[in-house]
Amino acid sequence: MENVKKINSELSVAGQVKPEQLQQAATEGYKSVLNLRSPDEEGFMHDEQQHAESAGLQYVNIPVKPDGMTDELTDQVLGQIDQLPKPALIHCASSMRAGAMAFMSVATREGMTAEQVFEKANEAGFDCDSQPQMKQFLESYVSKNSRTV
pLDDT at 148: 60
pLDDT at 66: 84
The answer to whether 87 and 9 have CB atoms below 8 angstroms apart is yes
Give CA–CA dist 118/124, Å, rounded. Answer: 10
Size (the chain), residues? 149
pLDDT at 79: 97
Tens of pLDDT along the chain (149 residues)?
Answer: 778 999 999 999 999 999 999 999 999 999 999 999 999 999 999 999 999 999 999 999 999 998 889 999 999 999 999 999 999 999 999 999 999 999 999 999 999 999 999 999 999 999 989 989 999 999 999 999 987 65
Q: How far is CA 50 from CA 19, 47, 115, 132, 145, in A?
A: 9, 5, 39, 35, 35
Q: H helices then E strands: how many in the chain? A: 6, 5
pLDDT at 147: 72
Query: Within the chain, what is the greatest distance between any pair of CA atoms?
Result: 41
pLDDT at 67: 85
Tell me whether the omega of the peptide bond preceding residue 39 falls within 30 degrees of 0, making it cis.
Answer: no
* Phi, psi (degrees; rounded to nearest 5) at 133: -65, -45
Residues 6+ apart with CB under 8 A from 115: none
Give CA–CA dist 134/111, Å, rounded. Answer: 20
**Structural domains of the chain in order of their starting residue, each with its CATH number:** 4-145 (3.90.190.10)
pLDDT at 149: 52
pTM given for the model: 0.94
Which amino acid would we find at residue 108? T
